[in-house]
Each structure stands twice: as C-alpha cells, then as structure tokens.
C-alpha cells in the first residue's frame, strides 16, 4: 500500500500495464519528454522507449484513428487526449469507428482502446479546458465510459480499462490530480460496478468523478443537521450499475444526482428516468438534479457559480426531504 | 528525439534553394537584396521603418508586462510571443482594414496591429470573459484555442468575399503543430478548390508545446501547400521586412483573383508555450542560444542605428510609448471586475429560451436566499 496523488496513481497504472503486456502502447500529444501536461506519463518514455510511449502529431482524429489500426494489429493502445475540449476532433473516429467495429464485425474485431481524458472544471482554465463531455459518449453504444474519483480507482480502473477488450473512455477529474490517497495494487472492484462510498439512510446521493469528494463534504455537513446521506460513486457512466443505485433508493426513498456536466441530456437525466421507472413506488419525492447549467462552460471567474458545490447539493437534499429550499422559498420559521 | 528543422541547409540540398528561408535583413542588421521580394517593400520610408521598430518594441513590452501580471497572480495564463514579434508585425502591418484575420491564441501582436484596445487583450486570460473585443470592430475574430479550427473559418470568410465581389482577403494564423490537424489540411483543399482569397500564415516556431516540428512535418512545412495546389513561400520569420514582403505578395495575388497562398515564417518560440509550461523538460539550450542571436528586434535596431535613424528622440519616443502601453495593459487588467453571477446565463441563445430563463431565475432565488443568510440556520 502506498500513498499517491491521483496523477501518480494513474502513472503507476500505465507503468504496470506497459510492464505486463508488450502490446500496450501509449499515444498522445506531449506524453513523451514532457510526461504529459499533467505529468501522468512522466518518466514512461525514458523507461519504455519512444516505441511504446509515442508522442503523436497534433491531431486527435489521427491519434484515435491510428489506434484503431493498431488494435486491428493486436495492440492495446492507450490514447491521451490533452484536455476534454480537444476530444471533438477525434469524435468521429470514436463514435463511428471505435464504438462500432466489434458489433459491425459480429465480434471478429476487438477494439481494446483506452482513451484517457482529463475532464471537468475548477482549475480556473481558459475555454475548452474545463468541459464535461461524457454524455456525448454515453449516448453511443459499444463504448464503456468510466470516471475515476480517487487514486485507488484511478489505478485499478485504468488497469481494468486497458485490460478490457471493449473500448473505454476513461475520464480523469483534473482538479483531483494532486489529491493524495492510498493505493493497493491488489484491490479490485469490477469496472462496471458503482461503489457505496458512504452508507446512509435518508437520501441517496449519486455522483462521479470530481464531485465525489464534494458529495462526501455535503454528507458530512448534512449529518451535523441530523440527515443521513448515502453517497454512491457511479464509476461507470455507461453501462450504469443501476442495481446498486436501485437498492439504495429502495431503502432511502430519495434520490439526488449531481454532476458538473450540463443538465439537459446528461447522465443525471438518464439516472432520474431509470430510477423513477424502476423504483417509483419507493420514492418519497421526485429525484433532484444538481448540475452545471445549460450554458457553455463560462469564463473562469464564473465557474464557482456553474459548478455544483456543497450548498447547492444540500439545497437539493432539502428539496427531496420536503424541507424549505430555494425553490419553495423560505418561510420565516415560527 | 527527432531533429527540429534547423538543418535548413540539408533540406535545401534536397529541395532546392527556394527552401532556404528568404531573408532581407540579416541578424547583423544588414539589408540583403532580393530581386523578387525587394519591390514589395520599396515604398517603405525611414518613418515606416521606425514605426515597425516601435511596433516590435511595444509588443515585446506587452508580452513582458502580461507575463509579469500572470506571475503576480493577476492573469490565469499567458501565451508569450517572445521571438515571434517580426512574424506577427510584418504580416499584420501588410493587411488592409477591410481584410479579416483569424488567429489562434498567441497572436497578441497581430491583435495590437488590428487596433484592439490594449485592455481588451486581458479578459480572456484573466478569466472574466470568453472574448475581449468585437471581431467586427477590428476585422479580427476571437482567438481559436482549438488547434487549426480557424483555418477553415478564414477559408469560409474568403469565399464570402469572393461571392460579394470585394477584394478583401482573409488570413489564417496557425502554428507548425496545427498543420497536422485535419482542419488545416481541409482548409487548404477547400481554398484551392474554390480559389478562395485566403492566406495561410504558419508561424513555424519549431515547437508544439514539447513536440519539435520534425514530428509534425518530415519536410519544410511550406512544401506541403503546393501539393494542394497552393503556392507557398518560406521566409525568415525573424525578419520583419521579409515577412512583410511575402505577405504583400500573397495579398496582392489574392486580391487580384490569384487564389490562396501559404507562407511559412520560420521563427523560434523563445519563451515557454504558456506560463504553465516547463520548457526546461524538453528544450535544447544550444538551439535556443542560436536563435537568440537572430532576434527580430535587435536586427531592425541594428539597421536603424547604422542608417542613423535611431536618434535619442526616437529611442525616447519608442520607450515612452512602450511604457504607456504597458501601463495601459496593467491598469486595464487590474480594472477588470469579476462578472456578476447571473451573467453566466447571458448570450447562450440569440433569441433567448424559456427553460434557460427558468434556470436563471431559480439560481437567482437561490443566491438571494443565500445572501440573506437563510441557509444554515433553517431547520
Ligand atoms: C484540438 C486541440 N488539441 C490540443 C490542444 C492543446 N494544445 C494547445 S497549444 C498546442 C500546441 C500548438 O502548437 P502549434 O500549432 O505549433 O502552435 P504554437 O503554440 O507553437 O504557436 C496544443 C497541443 C488544443 N488547443 N487543441
């Protein structure tokens, strides 16, 4: 067991994958000498050579498209997209090729490609550097879309993603890169499984990636108020481990979902719909969502408003508990 | 690691003498004759040369000041253009007001030449807004951060000029790394197919963050355009005169129906990619020192000094102009207030949207209750 930052844990995951399987290759912009702009691939090129850790020309479509060809040849490419907002030039290759080749060829061709994407806001960056594009990919069947939230998951989920014979969009919460945690290389939870991070009885709070720690903070604050929140880290955004969420909502009767991505058509919309369909008779209140607004990601000085925070999450918790909240208005207490 | 294309001579042997970047002004400040390029700058007066020198000094100062502001925590990020002043000034000063410019994020000197207010350079980097100026006021689009996207925009704008029967030209600025993107290659295909009056201006500063130009292009970048049917020029990007002459050649050709042209300005990024970058991890100090000796500002300064044009009066005027611009930049930056929270909902749609209005009013109610201190004490 070692204590590592998320960035270092991911780097260790890549290192082990390179050691274990000669068919693993890392591809991306600035992943070599520089070690990636977040230093996740730091030192890998020096140790494994430029054949295994490849700085690629500046073209995302080129990176993903050549990964497809490498996969045809039996390789297991791990592509790094430098920032969330730069995945779009590679979008066509991901949704039209990577996602569909297995289906199209009746299982004859595998696409064991992992696409790592630093995502989310909260670092005061310029435009295109703080987006949450996960919903575009969850809408495409054939892709596994996952988001890690801590060093342990960063390490284990990345190992599983690379080992997976399915293509995996691997989202890394960039504002958590420098947060430390314990990493046990032997620990494993299946890639598709959600995790109950904190058990609770009054409200189920579902989230993933950067907001898991915010959700835990909210739960701690609520507990001081006598409210017990169960926090679930979804981990896999597609396919979703609905069973874990269902079991929780059956017990608590209340669901709050929070993510940074915009609300409309987001992962939260799908969760709310499915849980409502499957747990209608167990719900005490309509599910509530706390998300980014349906606006483009704003300038850095506005991001604290765009991003869900502890108070907005607690406001939604009040909503599902039927307590006074910003939507009902505040009636002066007697 | 791959070589950067500094081995010009070797490549020249392969590709012929045209691939040695055209130079009109040596690093020592000597003016060299060139039969094809000279006529295009023959009209430059002594005053024009001094004005170009002032531009170079002022934009270098803008860069220094902005870098300092970033280090002081007043800007979130800054992409320095140190070393690339001549490439930007020489080309931008060749343009007409009714031409239209599409750039990426590093072309702050181009923005200066287009008449962008100094303070309007700041909001994007301070994080108070997503754009600084109105593109139509200055004939320059808001910078594109997505690498290469603007090459297509310029081509489309040029098509519009062509349809309108005007002789305005569009120019796209991008880096050597951008030439790997589909967008830039597609732009060249479209421009060639439609004979669009667009100039592709590549500042080959040798790097795309840590990646040397040799990773993007195995041959000089200017060699790529002809295969698309677009003639190209390769010029010394640290030579403001050569860059200006080349841009004028391309502009004239485009205005007169000659179609697109590609210019590769061979220069060097002397600073980090951005203030977040750590070039110590990848740069080659010997190579950088070589380029320092080819500095674009020193070069023109030497020419002016030799010609007796660098009088004390000129020096003083240029210095005080640079100081004034720096002061304006600093004041403009520090004067930028944080945006009001609810402006996060502004301008999503030109025509508004009721559902978004609902989000706005809900958030407004939330903020009001929050401000009134009603969270936390309610039970
Ligand atoms: C589509 C896209 N991919 C990646 C990036 C991240 N990125 C920003 S600048 C840069 C290097 C650009 O190099 P170049 O085109 O040579 O221009 P320069 O910065 O040298 O002026 C990269 C990879 C981006 N902005 N857009």
And the tokens for A61?
A: 């479509």
Question: Is the pLDDT reported for residue B4 higher than 50?
Answer: no
For residue B59, what are the contacts with CB-CB under 8 A and spacing of at least 6? B81, B85, B88, B89, B108, B109, B112
pLDDT over 90 at B129, yes or no: yes
* A226 at B interface, C-beta within 8 A: no
Question: Is cis: bond before A167, omega within 30 of 0?
Answer: no
Asked if the model's pLDDT at residue B3 lies above 50, the reply is: no
pLDDT tier at B209, thresholds 50, 70, 90:
very high
Q: Where are the domains of chain B?
A: 8-334, 342-371
Cβ contact, residue pair B209, A296, below 8 Å: no
Q: Mean pLDDT for chain A?
A: 97
Q: How far is the CA of B12 from the centre of ligand 1 (A)?
A: 28
Average pLDDT over residues A60-71: 98
CA of B37 to the centre of ligand 1 (A): 31
Report which DSSP code applies to B83.
T
CA of B147 to the centre of ligand 1 (A): 5
Per-residue model confidence (pLDDT) at position B11? 47
Contact between residue A131 and residue A85 where contact means Cβ atoms under 8 Å apart: yes
Residues of chain B contacting A89 with CB distance shorter than 8 Å: 146, 181-183
Pairing of the two strands A144-147 and A236-238? antiparallel
On whether the CB atoms of residues A262 and A291 are closer than 8 A, the answer is yes
Render pLDDT for B287-302 as a digit per residue (tens, 0 to 9).
999 999 999 999 999 9
Longest dimension (CA), chain A: 72
> How confident is the model over B147-165, as pLDDT tens digits?
999 999 999 999 999 999 9
Say whether residue A300 is in contact with chain B using an 8 A CB cutoff. Answer: yes
Q: Which tokens hold the place of A95?
A: 């949704």
pLDDT top residue among A287 and B6 = A287
ipTM above 0.85 for this complex: yes
The strand pair at A195-198 and A229-233 is best described as: antiparallel
d(CA B239, CA A320): 67
| Distance of alpha carbon A241 from alpha carbon A166, whole angstroms | 17
Q: Which residues of A touch B178 (CB under 8 A)?
A: 58
* Mean pLDDT of the region B66-83: 98
Could you give the CA distance from residue B195 to residue B231 in angstroms, rounded to a whole number?
A: 12
Centre a 10 Å sphere on the Cβ of residue B2 and count the other Cβ atoms it contains.
13
Using only the alpha carbons of chain B, give its radius of gyration.
23
Check A88 against B146: CB less than 8 A apart. yes
Q: How far is A192 from chain B (nearest CA, A)?
A: 32
How far apart CA B52 and CA B47 sit, in angstroms, is: 9
- Tell me the pairing of strands A114-119 and A229-233: unpaired
From CA B219, how far away is CA B5, in angstroms rounded?
8
CA distance B96 to B100: 9
Tell me what pLDDT residue A329 has.
78
CATH 3.40.50.970 correct for A2-183: yes
Question: Is the minimum CB–CB distance between A123 and chain B shorter than 8 Å?
Answer: no
Q: Are B338 and A301 within 8 A, CB to CB?
A: yes
Tell me how far apart the alpha carbons of residues A6 and A158 are, in angstroms, rounded to a whole number: 11
3-class SS of residue B312: helix
Strands A144-147 and A168-173: parallel
Ligand 1 pocket mutation, candidates B88, B177, B200, criterion most atoms within 8 A of CB: B177
CATH architecture of B8-334: 3-Layer(aba) Sandwich (3.40)
Label the pairing between strands A76-80 and A114-119.
Answer: parallel
What pLDDT score was predicted for residue A168?
Answer: 98
Q: Whose CA is nearest to atom 13 of ligand 1?
A: B208
Catalytic (active site) residue A139: no
Residues 239-278 of A with CB under 8 A from B: 263-264
How would residue B14 be classed by pLDDT, with cut points 50, 70 and 90? very low
pLDDT of amino acid A128: 97
Q: Cα–Cα distances in Å, from A197 out to A114, A209, A251, B369?
A: 25, 13, 16, 31
Name the residue among A85, A293, A300 with its Cβ closest to that of B76: A300
Give the C-alpha distances (Å, rounded to integers) separating A145 from A33, A114, A192, B188, B333: 29, 10, 9, 35, 41
pLDDT digits 0-9 by tens, B222-242: 999 999 999 999 999 999 999
Task: Out of B77, B143, B147, give the residue to mutate to test ligand 1, the one with the largest number of ligand atoms within 8 Å of its CB.
Answer: B147
Record the tokens describing residue B108, joined without a space: 């702050």
For A54, the 3-state DSSP assignment is strand
Q: Which CATH class, in words, describes the domain spanning A195-321?
A: alpha beta
Q: What atom of ligand 1 comes closest to residue B213's alpha carbon?
A: 16
Q: Which residues contact B258 (CB under 8 A, 6 or more apart)?
A: B252
Which residues have CB under 6 Å of ligand 1? Answer: A 29, 58, 60, 82, 86, 89; B 106, 145-147, 174-178, 205, 207-209, 269, 273
Q: How far, in Å, CA of B273 to CA of A264, rounded?
A: 36
pLDDT tens sequence across A102-121: 999 999 999 999 999 999 99
Report the alpha-carbon distance of residue A110 to residue B255 in Å, rounded. 52
Asked if B207 and B269 touch (Cβ cutoff 8 Å), the reply is: yes
DSSP output for A125-184: --TTSS---HHHHHTSTT-EEEE--SHHHHHHHHHHHHH-SS-EEEEEEGGGTT-EEEE-
To the nearest whole Å, the CA of B41 is away from the closest chain A CA by: 35
Contacts of B313 (CB under 8 A, 6+ apart): none
What pLDDT, on a 0 to 100 scale, did the predictor assign at position A331? 60
What's the pTM?
0.95
Q: Both tokens of residue B74?
A: 């007043």
pLDDT band at A330; cut points 50, 70, 90:
low
CA distance B34 to B243: 13
Mean pLDDT of B107-112: 98
CA A20 to chain centre: 25
Cβ contact B251:B199 at 8 Å: yes
pLDDT > 90: percent of chain B: 92
- Mean pLDDT, residues B59-71: 98
DSSP 8-state assignment for residue A227? -
Catalytic-role residue among A102, A128, A129, A282: A129
Element (H, E) at B326: helix B312-334
Residues β-bridged to residue A14: none
pLDDT, residue A328, reads: 87
Burial readout B65-87 (b: 16 or more C-beta within 10 A, e: otherwise): bbbebbeeebbbbbbbbbbbbbb
State both tokens at B218.
């195995």
Q: Is B268 a catalytic site residue?
A: no
pLDDT grade for A1, boundaries at 50, 70 and 90: confident
Closest ligand 1 atom number to CA of residue B273: 19
Q: Would you kindly state where each structural domain of chain A is located, as residue ranges?
A: 2-183, 195-321
Q: Which of B178, B239, B184, B171 is nearest to B213 (CA)?
A: B178
Question: B172: which 2 tokens?
Answer: 């796209």
Chosen for mutation from B205, B211, B278, B358 (greatest number of chain A CBs closer than 10 Å) is B211
CA–CA distance, B254 with B223 (Å, rounded to integer): 19
Residues of B in contact with A32 (CB under 8 A): 210
At a CB cut-off of 8 Å and minimum separation 6, what does B227 contact? none
A182-188's contacts with Cβ under 8 Å and 24+ in sequence apart are: A182/A1, A182/A2, A182/A3, A182/A151, A182/A152, A183/A1, A183/A2, A183/A3, A183/A4, A183/A9, A183/A12, A183/A151, A183/A152, A183/A155, A184/A1, A184/A152, A185/A12, A185/A16, A185/A155, A187/A152, A187/A156, A188/A156, A188/A160
Q: What is the DSSP string of B143-186?
A: PP-STTHHHHHHHHHHHHHHHHT----EEEEEETGGGGSHHHHH
- Both tokens of B152, joined, read 């297509």
């Amino acid at each position: 067991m070692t204590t590592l930052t998320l960035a270092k844990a991911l780097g260790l995951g890549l290192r082990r994958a390179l050691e274990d399987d000669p068919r693993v290759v890392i591809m991306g912009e600035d992943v070599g000498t520089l070690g990636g702009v977040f230093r996740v691939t730091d030192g890998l090129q020096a140790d494994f050579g430029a054949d295994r850790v490849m700085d690629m020309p500046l073209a995302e479509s080129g990176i993903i498209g050549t990964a497809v060809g490498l996969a045809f040849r039996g390789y297991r490419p791990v592509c790094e997209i430098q920032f969330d907002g730069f995945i779009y030039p590679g979008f066509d290759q991901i949704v039209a090729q990577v996602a569909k080749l297995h289906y199209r060829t009746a299982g004859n061709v595998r696409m064991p490609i992992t696409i790592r994407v630093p995502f989310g806001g909260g670092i005061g960056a310029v435009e295109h550097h703080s987006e949450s594009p996960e919903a575009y990919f969850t809408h495409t069947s054939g892709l596994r879309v996952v988001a890690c939230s801590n060093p342990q998951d960063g390490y284990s989920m990345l190992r599983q993603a690379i080992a997976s014979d399915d293509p995996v969009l691997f989202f890394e919460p960039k504002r958590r890169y420098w947060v430390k945690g314990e990493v046990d290389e032997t620990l494993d939870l299946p890639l598709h499984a959600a995790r109950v991070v904190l058990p609770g009885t009054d409200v189920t709070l579902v989230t993933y990636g950067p907001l898991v720690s915010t959700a835990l903070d909210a739960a701690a604050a609520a507990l001081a108020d006598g409210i017990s929140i169960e926090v679930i880290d979804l981990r896999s955004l597609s396919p979703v481990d609905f069973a874990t969420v269902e079991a929780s909502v059956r017990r608590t009767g209340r669901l709050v979902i929070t993510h940074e991505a915009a609300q409309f058509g987001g992962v939260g919309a799908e969760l709310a719909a499915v849980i409502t369909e499957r747990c209608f008779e167990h719900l005490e209140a309509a599910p509530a969502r706390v998300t980014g607004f349906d606006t483009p990601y704003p300038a850095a000085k506005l991001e604290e408003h765009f991003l869900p925070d502890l108070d907005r999450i607690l406001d939604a918790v009040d909503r599902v508990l039927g307590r006074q909240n910003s939507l009902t208005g505040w009636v002066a207490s007697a | 690691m791959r070589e950067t294309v500094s081995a010009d001579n070797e490549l020249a042997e392969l590709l012929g003498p045209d691939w040695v970047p055209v130079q009109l002004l040596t690093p020592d400040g000597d003016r060299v004759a060139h039969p094809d390029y000279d006529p295009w700058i023959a009209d430059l007066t002594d005053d024009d040369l001094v004005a170009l020198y002032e531009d170079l000094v002022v934009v270098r100062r803008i860069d220094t000041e902005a870098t300092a502001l970033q280090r002081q925590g007043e800007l979130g990020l800054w992409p320095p253009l140190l070393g690339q002043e001549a490439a930007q000034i020489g080309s931008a000063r060749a343009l007409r007001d009714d031409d239209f410019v599409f750039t990426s994020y590093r072309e702050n000197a181009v923005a200066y030449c287009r008449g962008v207010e100094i303070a309007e350079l700041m909001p994007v980097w301070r994080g108070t807004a997503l754009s600084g100026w109105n593109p139509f006021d200055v004939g320059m689009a808001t910078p594109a951060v997505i690498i290469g996207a603007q090459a297509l925009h310029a081509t489309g704008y040029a098509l519009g000029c062509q349809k309108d029967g005007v002789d305005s030209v569009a120019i796209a600025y991008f880096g050597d790394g951008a030439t790997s993107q589909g967008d830039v290659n597609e732009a060249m295909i479209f421009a060639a197919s439609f004979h669009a009056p667009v100039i592709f201006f590549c500042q080959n500063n040798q790097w795309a963050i840590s990646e040397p130009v040799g990773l993007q292009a195995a041959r000089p970048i200017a060699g790529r355009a002809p295969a698309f049917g677009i003639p190209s020029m390769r010029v010394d990007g640290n030579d403001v005169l050569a860059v200006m002459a080349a841009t004028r050649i391309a502009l004239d050709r485009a205005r007169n129906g000659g179609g697109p042209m590609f210019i590769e300005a061979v220069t060097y990024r002397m600073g980090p990619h951005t203030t977040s970058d750590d070039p110590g991890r990848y740069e080659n100090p010997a190579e950088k020192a070589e380029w320092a000796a080819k500095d674009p500002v020193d070069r023109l300064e030497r020419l002016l000094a030799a010609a007796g044009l660098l009088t004390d009066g000129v020096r003083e005027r240029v210095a005080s102009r640079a100081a004034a611009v720096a002061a304006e930049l600093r004041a403009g930056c520090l004067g930028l207030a944080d945006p009001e929270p609810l402006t996060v909902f502004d301008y999503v749609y030109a025509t508004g949207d009721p559902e978004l209005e609902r989000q706005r009013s809900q958030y407004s109610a939330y903020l009001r209750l929050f401000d009134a201190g009603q969270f936390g004490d309610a039970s």
